[in-house]
Homo-oligomer: A and B are copies of this chain.
């Protein structure tokens, strides 16, 4: 179990000691294994999850396909949960842990209360709204205007920017799920990229050659 010191080493955003006390008082830490589904579309949410460690993937799904909305990393929360919990509504997306994760869970009613009391909390809430919106907007523009090939390249660039590695540890299926298309389409494009010497393909990961 986390000690409170450990917890606040991770949660740098919340500077007010009062707020920290409140978090300790009302929050619960839960652990999720890789693959645990934490939020389902349609589910009523009366709690707000803030990731301490690990990574969540939030996505929408259709009958046969899915598409990535965003990832939730440490010190972040999920727009779906925030909006659903704040307005007492249900989620319109799914959330799954893709790494073993530790998550701070707060009762929904506190979101609005704290927002008026603690500036750093208010800032956190608005930052979340803004940055998730920006991400979604950018994804939207991409899906509307860019061919999949470009979106795959963008995906690689994004990964490289964030992780600094040219070995991208995703299967073709995962890539297809993130980009909202099918595995065959991705395999075809990747093979083409390999012919153009842009990448080298391996089982389970893709190596960038540029």
Which A residues contact B (CB, under 8 angstroms)?
60, 62, 65, 67, 69, 79, 83, 86-87, 92-93, 115-116, 119, 122, 126, 129-130, 132-134, 136-141, 143-145, 180
Contacts and interface: CB of A to CB of B under 8 A. Distances in A.
A83 B83 CA distance: 16
A145 B83 contact: no
B92 A145 contact: no
B133 A79 contact: yes
Interface residue SS majority, chain A: helix
A145 B62 contact: yes
A144 B63 CA distance: 13
CB-CB nearest 8 A-B residue pairs: A129-B129, A144-B180, A62-B145, A83-B130, A140-B140, A67-B144, A143-B143, A143-B144
Copies held by the complex: 2
A145 B79 contact: no
B136 A133 contact: yes
Contact of A133 (B67, B116, B126, B133): B133
A61 to B, nearest CB: 9
A136 B136 contact: yes
Nearest to A64: B145
A86 B127 CA distance: 10
Given A143-B140, A143-B144, A145-B65, A133 B132 contact: yes
